[in-house]
Structure 1
Amino acid sequence: MSENITATLRVRIGQEEAHYGGNLVEGARILKLFGDIITEIAIQTDGSEGLFVGYSTIEFLAPVYAGDFIEATGTVVRMGKTSRTVEFEARKVIASRYDTAPDAADILDEPIVVVRATGTTVVPVENSRGSTVRA
């Protein structure tokens, strides 16, 4: 059942999210995207938002800056009776270019992987409404 269950978000990281010097964004911002993705997956599989119980791995691989566009994807890799394990990857697809001009950016020919992680959500049996619930 886990084949092809995915969710994807693409967002622009705003200036208000710069947390460190040089417009650097904290890694937790990407983890928030992963939380939204796993919530969508739980809705797809069970019609419930589920409860994100934790990460088994997180790798911060490249910096994210205000103005960057990030595309984050999660794919189900294991489905238990009440749990769904998801592999996440966030890629920078547009890079801000403050070194060129305050409003400059480049579309990247090859996206840069910025974060990879694996996490698990649990949908209590009493909350599950079955797979692929549609209104």
Structure 2
Amino acid sequence: MEKSMIRLRMSSADAHYGGNLVDGAKILQLFGDVATELLIKNDGDEGLFKAYSEIEFIAPVFAGDYLEITGEITKIGKTSRGMSFEARKVIVPRVDISESAADFLEESILVCKAVGTCVVPMSSQRKG
């Protein structure tokens, strides 16, 4: 099955709450970006995100954290594509040391996982 990954830094613009806490909706937006890439790779079309059947927020995300977002297609139906997603923190800022200090984590931290379904209409499928 198809897999995709993106890695990016959460900026101060992504912080929505006090203490530079990033809104969980930002993580779901990133899952949507990975889903779009998966559908393009699998079907040649962006498709549509239909629903999440599971979402679990596990650890907080802050401005300055680097996240690795992964997703994979787990089930292929006639028009539906089952997918699973994970967001992992891989780098954390160390402002206690200096404004520019950061640590690459030896073991990433799972911050969110989800399961969802996307749809690609038959008329839009160009691959497979």
TM interval, shorter chain, is: over 0.9
Equivalent-residue separation in structure 2 for 1:98 and 1:60 (angstroms): 25
2:94 to 93, 97, 116: 97
Please say if residues 71 and 91 of structure 1, whose CA atoms lie closer than 8 Å, have aligned partners that are also in contact.
yes
Matches within 5 A, 1:1-135: 3=1, 5-131=2-128
State the distance in 2 between where 1:7 and 1:24 align. 26
Q: Equivalents in 2 of 1:102, 1:23: separation in Å?
A: 14
Supply the distance in 2 between the matched residues of 1:101 and 1:18 (Cα, whole angstroms).
20
Q: Aligned-pair RMSD on alpha carbons?
A: 1.0
How far the C-alpha of 1:102 sits from its partner, in A, is 2.9
1:97 Cα deviation from its structure 2 partner? 2.4
Structure 2 unmatched ranges of 5 or more: none
SS at match of 2:45: coil
What are the Cα deviations for residues 29-88 of structure 1, in whole angstroms up to 9, with x where unaligned?
111110011111111111110010010000000000000000000011111011111110
Taking the aligned partners of 1:103 and 1:18, their CA distance within structure 2 comes to 18
Task: Report the residue type matching 2:87 in the other structure.
Answer: A
Deviation track 1:1-42 (CA, whole Å, cap 9, x = no partner) reads xx3x11100001111111111111001111111001111111
Letter in 2 for 1:71: E
Contact 1:27 1:60 (C-alpha < 8 Å) held by counterparts: yes
Q: Calculate the TM-score normalised by the size of structure 2.
A: 0.95
The runs of 4+ residues in structure 1 deviating greater than 6 Å are none
Contact 1:74 1:88 in 2 (8 A): yes
User: Percent identity between the aligned chains?
Assistant: 54
- Structure 1 portions without partners, runs of 5+: none
Residue aligned with 1:16, SS: coil
Q: Distance in 2 between matches of 1:87 and 1:11?
A: 19
Determine the C-alpha separation between the residues in 1 that align with 2:20 and 2:116.
Answer: 28
